[in-house]
Amino acid sequence: MFENAGRTEISSLGEFGLIEHLSKNFTIQNNTQLGIGDDAAVITPTEGYQTLVSTDLLVEGVHFDLSYFPMKHLGYKAVVVNLSDIYAMNGKPKQVTVSLALSSRFSLEAVEELYAGVQLACERYRVDLVGGDTSTSKQGLMISVTAIGEAKSADIAYRSGAKVHDLVVVTGDLGGAYCGYQLLEREKRVYLDNPSVQPDLGGFDYIIERQLKPEARKDIYEILKTLHIKPTAMMDISDGLASECFHIGKASQVGMSLYEEKIPIDPSTYNFARELDLDPTLCALSGGEDYELLFTIDQSDFKKIEHHPDFSIIGYVNEKSDGMNLITKSGNKHALKAQGWTAF
């Protein structure tokens, strides 16, 4: 799809020319002493803060499919999913590095698009691009982002702090990104069978956006501060609610009980899941890639978030020996499976 109009070979710029070209529009606004251009970036630590570091590697054909994933969105998402990990520690991201491996299939124009997405994410989330690495690959595209952030020691929310009787809370709504993925995969199959058929994505903008243009919950950091809430444990939802509950459960040595009826699902997620004969609750529990935050709070904080539109209280923490449970809408109690329910 990039082979046609206005194609410039990356080899015509060389590695240094490419980096200079891609990074020239980025500005530095945080505690970055020196960004791109030397052997290492130089960062001035903020007094009283600790440094948070997180990395993700995205591989073409494994984590994304360029037949429907636009390059600009890929650049944006690659940054955002890493920022989400910093927010999930109750910290603030400040810098990112971006590393690429590119096969000769990719033109300069395609990589420019990717960096337009990286830049948009850097601007929206106010983080500095301070470095990276660039390599060729035999096949396909790989992109790795490292996010660097800061938090006060007392503010950091680990996975290990949940305690029995805490409340389990999630932000936003769940299952949308998975349904968006299912929709894009469906339309891709239709297109491959008959390229003259136009994709039918009408009415499902929300779930497509959840898949192609996820956002990290940068607002929650401020909201929790304003409400004087420090989560006892927190993580972001990248693999699906069930799997993340197990992570907190394992790190904190506790179990949980979740109420199916309390799990927030957007109407368009619900309707699409129904159309495909999928259980919307399963999409939320096992779908992943929603990049919402899952956290536990002390019961005494209940009143502070009871009616807050950004939060849903979905259950409570119980003894480890009582396990990880889902209480269904009909009132039955089921043991949650570690991989969610692999019924897909």
The yes or no reply on residue 36 touching ligand ADP (CB under 6 A) is yes
Shortest distance, position 60 Cβ to ligand ADP, whole Å: 16
The yes or no reply on residue 50 touching ligand ADP (CB under 6 A) is no
Burial class (CB in 10 A: 0-12, 13-18, 19+), 154: exposed
Q: Which is nearer to Mg ion, 100 or 168 (CB)?
A: 100
Which conformational region is residue 79 in: left (phi greater than 0), alpha (psi within -120 to 50 degrees), or beta? Answer: alpha
Cβ-proximal residues to 19 (8 Å cutoff; 6+ apart), any chain: 36, 132, 134
Shortest distance, position 23 Cβ to Mg ion, whole Å: 13
Partner whose footprint covers residue 78, from ligand ADP, Mg ion, none (CB < 5 to 8 Å by kind): none
Position among 83, 89, 98, 273 found at the interface with ligand ADP (CB under 6 A): 98
Give the integer Cα–Cα distance in Å for 220 and 83. 13
Position among 3, 4, 24, 39 found at the interface with ligand ADP (CB under 6 A): 39
Q: Which is nearer to Mg ion, 65 or 133 (CB)?
A: 133
What's the one-letter identity of residue 211?
Answer: Q
The yes or no reply on residue 43 touching ligand ADP (CB under 6 A) is no
The yes or no reply on residue 133 touching ligand ADP (CB under 6 A) is yes
Q: Which of residues 204-243 bind ligand ADP (CB under 6 A)?
A: none
Per the CB < 8 A criterion, the answer to whether 170 and 311 are in contact is yes
Instruction: Choose the binding region for ligand ADP from 125-133, 247-255, 289-297, 328-336 (rule: CB under 6 A).
Output: 125-133
A 10 A CB-CB count for 62 gives 10
Q: Is the dihedral of CA 181, 183, 189, 195 positive or negative?
A: negative
Q: In the chain, what is the straight-line distance between the N-terminal and C-terminal CA atoms, in Å?
A: 31
- Residue with tokens 């980025």, as numbered in its chain: 26
Residues interacting with Mg ion, by CB under 5 A?
A: 133
Residues lying near ligand ADP in the complex (CB under 6 A)? 19, 23, 36-39, 98-100, 129, 131-134
